[in-house]
Chain A
Amino acid sequence: MISLKELAAFRNPSLAKQVTERLQGLAPSYTVKFCHICGTHEWTVTHFGLRSLLPETVEIIAGPGCPVCVLPAAEIDEAVKLALEGVTIATFGDVLRVPGSNLSLAKAKAEGGDIRVVYGVSDAVRLAKAEPEKEFVFFAIGFETTSPTTANEVLNEPPENLSFLISHRLIPPAMELLLGIGDLHIDGFIAPGHVSTIIGLKPYEVFPSAYYMPVVVAGFEPLDLLFGLNALLRQIKDGVAKLENEYSRVVKQEGNTKALNLLRRVFNIVDGRWRGLGRLPLSAFALKKEFEEWDAREKHGVRIEKGRDIMPGCQCHLVMIGKIKPSECSLFNVSCTPESPKGPCMVSSEGTCRIWAKHNVGH
């Protein structure tokens, strides 16, 4: 058994100081840009002020790793429509204030919609069982970390008064999209640790082999990220592109095979829309036909194809791909604040704008 004390060793400040010094020696004279694809990585980077510790030529940018931010307005609109029709929506708290084309779920609630915040899908099952006279929909968002939890409940004979509005997305297609943006110039990926506990290493192999792009899977302690950067800089210095796993204490080559089997059993992989990024091939999960009685889109006949993804003046779609910093948006901390957010990147606790605003960064 590992102890809490052993886990605390991953926060050792003297090790952090040493590795930061190593980074100075490894950094090239030209600027290199490393991209993570995880809101929790952005939180660690910002919270611990890692950007200020890095060599001047090393930049960390945030990719589309906030599941609430990438949710297209049309799918919020579906949940809002159901709520206004009298269906009880259970979902994660972060989703409530995300703008739809017209209304957010929070506004739908103010108009009388029954919206319940849950910690996970099991809570939604529990609520539906406790109130059998009500019709429930679990609005299922999240990447590969979260999708298996939904899959498990779908397979576990959910109550008849519950169905699932599936808005799960896959991370590797979003990484490929970033590489297709010609003027973004990414020099390496910091792959999301918790998505990787599920999908394992294989889905990232394409990046070094086909794109010559260094990848390191990293955890969420400052040391995880600093050693991850060390590995990326080392690869650049040596002129190689490899896939390295700095988070082997929970990320295995094969991933979580139980979870992957559940995903395969329950979902098809289909094209999916991402807010502001358009349609990405094979980037979303959809329930297989045999589970259609639990598919909220089938059961309640709700399917909205088009929505208004970008609010006037909001640059969230550019923040999400690391093209601009939140502080480059003229509304940042002016008319868009954590208390009164304009775009999804300021709504979600994993949105880059919100993380920066909460930490007083980028003034």
Chain B
Amino acid sequence: MCLAIPARVVEIQDNIAKVDFGEGVLREVNVALVEAKVDEYVLVHAGYAIQVVDREDAAETLRLWNELLSMEESNT
């Protein structure tokens, strides 16, 4: 039920966006809960986009993870 899947916004008209889950088929989702732009990734749950995936934070998380692994290697 709380499953949410990222999809790319292809087109937005009012509160309805056409999104691509990577299957090549476009599906309609409601974007009333987010401020999404075309080409951004949104997290889709039960027909609604519930959040925009933040690219910079995603990159930052991966950077931190890598850093953490190399850092703890030397001091634990």
Enumerate chain A interface residues (CB-CB to B < 8 A): 1-2, 4, 6-7, 9-10, 15, 18-19, 22, 25-26, 38-40, 65-68, 92, 94, 119-123, 141-143, 145-146, 148-149, 152, 192, 194-195, 197-198, 223, 227, 230, 246, 248-252, 256, 258-259, 262, 348, 350
Given A194-B45, A248-B61, A148 and B66 touching (CB < 8 A)?
A: no
Interface size in chain B (residues, C-beta < 8 A)? 38
Q: Are B30 and A145 in contact (CB under 8 A)?
A: no
Q: Is the CB of A195 within 8 A of B34?
A: no
CB A70 to nearest CB in B, in angstroms, measures: 11
Q: Do A152 and B65 form a contact, CB below 8 Å, given A1-B55, A248-B60, A258-B34?
A: no
CB-CB under 8 A for A194 and B58, given A2-B53, A120-B47, A149-B46? no
Tell me, in angstroms, the Cα distance from A258 to B32 when the chains sit together. 8
Chain A positions within 8 Å of B54 at CB level = 2, 248-250, 252
Q: Known contacts A6-B55, A145-B50, A256-B34; is A26 also within 8 Å of B76 by CB?
A: yes
Could you list 15 examples of A-B contacts with CB < 8 Å?
A1-B39, A4-B22, A15-B69, A67-B1, A120-B48, A122-B30, A122-B47, A141-B1, A145-B1, A146-B1, A197-B50, A248-B57, A249-B61, A252-B51, A256-B51
- A-side binding surface: helix, strand, loop or mixed? helix
Contact A7 B69 (CB under 8 A): no
B33 touches A7 (CB 8 A): no
Residue pair B1, A195 in contact (C-beta under 8 Å): no
Which B residues lie within 8 Å of A66 (CB)?
1
How distant is A221 from chain B, measured CB to nearest CB, in Å? 11
Among residues of B, the one whose C-beta sits closest to the C-beta of A143 is: B2
Q: Does the CB pair A152–B32 fall under 8 Å?
A: yes
Instruction: Mark interface residues in B26-66 (1 if CB within 8 Å of A CB, else 0).
Output: 00001011110001110101111011111101111110011
Q: Smallest distance from the beta carbon of B34 to chain A beta carbons, Å?
A: 7
Residue B12 is within 8 A (CB to CB) of chain A in the complex: no
Contact of B40 with A145 in the complex, beta carbons under 8 Å = no
Q: Knowing that A7-B6, A26-B76 are A-B contacts, what are 8 other residue pairs whose CB atoms are under 8 Å apart, sorted by A's residue number?
A: A7-B41, A19-B65, A146-B2, A149-B33, A152-B33, A248-B57, A249-B53, A258-B33
Residues on B with beta carbons closer than 8 Å to the beta carbon of A198: 50
Asked whether B50 lies within 8 Å of A223 as measured between CB atoms, the reply is no
For A219, the closest partner residue in chain B by CB is B61
Chain A residue nearest in CB terms to B72: A22
5 closest A-B pairs by CB: A120-B47, A120-B46, A2-B55, A249-B58, A197-B51
Residues on the A chain within 8 Å of B25, using CB: none
Bound-complex Cα distance A51 to B62 (A): 23
Distance in angstroms from A212 CB to nearest chain B CB is 24
In the complex, the chain B residue whose C-beta lies closest to that of A22 is B72
List of A residues within 8 angstroms of B52 by Cβ = 250
Per the bound structure, the CA–CA distance linking A251 and B8 in Å amounts to 18
In the assembled complex, which residues on chain B have CB atoms less than 8 Å from the CB atom of A38? 2
Cβ–Cβ < 8 Å partners of B51 in chain A? 197, 250-252, 256
Residues of A within 8 Å of B35, CB to CB, are 258
- Of the candidates B41, B57, B65, the one whose C-beta lies within 8 Å of that of A227 is B65
Q: In whole angstroms, what is the CA distance A92 to B45 when docked?
A: 12
Residue contact B1 to A143, C-beta cutoff 8 Å? yes
Tell me if A1 and B58 are in contact (CB < 8 A).
no
**Complex-state Cα separation, A227 to B69, whole angstroms:** 10
Selected contact of A194 from candidates B47, B50, B53, B68, CB within 8 Å = B50
Name the B residues within 8 Å of A248 (CB-CB): 54, 57, 60-61
Are the C-beta atoms of B65 and A223 separated by less than 8 Å?
Answer: yes
